[in-house]
């Protein structure tokens, strides 16, 4: 059965981050790296989880396969990735190292994409100094990839066009990735009529288009006059005319 939980998880995570930022003297967790790349040269990746909160955190790990069908992200539970430990208690102020690897290092002509989900399953916490206070749990969602081939960066492997937006105040762009590994947006800029870089306007969107997939991105149309949209990605950039 296909499940689409990432959007829900992401929304909950953002709400928790906002609420957390309102708490005075709050601590946080740190994770490094934030993108896990597994390949034939780096078969095991170490993921460091730093617990900078004032209490112990119990973490349970799991993995989802990630694909994009008809422009939508889809997630399915998978056993392709091995994450060790699967569940662990991380003391306050300590660092826990997770080891991530792929169960089968097969030949992958097209990059495999996953999400690593680190769920806080700690018991409900009550601060004895503030029993009426609110405690927060943070679930971490990280992208992971496996590719057995050499990445070839070729701008010809992606296309960008405009598409129909939700309303007249929005602009829509469709980015198609023809390559065998992911394409990440580094930014989209509205190019100034005077061709001055300092007058270019960043429309503030980012995202990832998986191998052999496409996605559409919508943003508020800039009120400034511009002539083209410049799509910057990890495999090059392209200009498309103003819609």
CATH number at residue 67: 2.60.40.10
Same domain, 121 and 225: no
169: domain CATH number is 2.60.40.1930
- Is 1 domain-assigned? no
Q: Are strands 29-32 and 207-209 parallel, antiparallel or unpaired?
A: unpaired
* pLDDT averaged over every residue in the chain: 85
Same domain, 19 and 130: yes
What pLDDT sits at residue 82? 97
Q: Span 100-117, mean pLDDT? A: 95
- Is 85 domain-assigned? yes
Same domain, 54 and 119: yes
What gap in Å lies between CA 77 and CA 175, rounded to an integer? 27
pLDDT: which is higher, 118 or 126: 118
Q: Provide the whole-model pTM.
A: 0.81
Out of 126, 146, 166, pick the residue that ends a domain: 146
Structural domain span for residue 180: 155-241
- 144 and 82 in contact (C-beta within 8 Å)? no
Out of 103, 125, 146, pick the residue that ends a domain: 146
- 9 and 58 in contact (C-beta within 8 Å)? no
Same domain, 136 and 171: no
Same domain, 20 and 110: yes
- Is 222 domain-assigned? yes
Out of 97, 120, 146, pick the residue that ends a domain: 146
- Is 174 domain-assigned? yes
- Is 196 domain-assigned? yes
Highest mean pLDDT among 2-16, 48-62, 72-86, 143-157: 72-86
- 227 and 239 in contact (C-beta within 8 Å)? no
Whats the size of the chain, residue-wise?
243
- Is 56 domain-assigned? yes
What pLDDT sits at residue 127? 52
**Residues 67-84: pLDDT tens digits?**
999 999 999 999 999 999
Q: Span 5-24, mean pLDDT? A: 39
Same domain, 114 and 209: no
Q: Residue 35: CA atoms inside 13 Å, Cβ hemisphere, count? A: 7
Domain count within the chain: 2
């Amino acid at each position: 059965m296909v499940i689409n939980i990432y959007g829900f998880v992401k929304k909950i995570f953002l709400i928790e981050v906002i609420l957390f930022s309102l708490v005075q003297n709050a601590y946080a967790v740190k994770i490094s790296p934030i993108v896990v790349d597994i390949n034939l040269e780096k078969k095991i990746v170490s993921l460091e989880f730093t617990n900078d909160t004032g209490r112990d955190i119990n973490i349970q790990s799991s993995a989802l396969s990630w694909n994009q069908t008809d422009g939508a992200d889809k997630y399915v539970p998978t056993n392709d990735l091995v994450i060790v430990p699967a569940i662990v208690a991380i003391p306050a102020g300590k660092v826990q190292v997770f080891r991530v690897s792929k169960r089968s290092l097969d030949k992958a002509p097209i990059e495999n994409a996953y999400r690593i989900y680190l769920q806080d399953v700690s018991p409900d916490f009550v601060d004895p100094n503030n029993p009426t206070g609110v405690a927060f749990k943070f679930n971490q969602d990280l992208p992971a990839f496996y590719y057995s081939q050499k990445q070839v960066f070729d701008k010809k492997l992606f296309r960008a066009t405009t598409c129909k937006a939700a309303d007249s105040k929005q602009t829509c762009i469709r980015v198609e990735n023809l390559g065998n590994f992911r394409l990440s947006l580094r930014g989209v800029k509205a190019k100034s009529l005077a061709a001055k870089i300092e007058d270019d306007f960043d429309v503030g969107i980012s995202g990832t288009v998986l191998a052999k997939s496409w996605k559409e991105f919508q943003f508020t149309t800039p009120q400034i006059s511009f002539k083209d949209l410049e799509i910057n990605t990890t495999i090059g950039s392209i200009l498309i005319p103003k819609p």
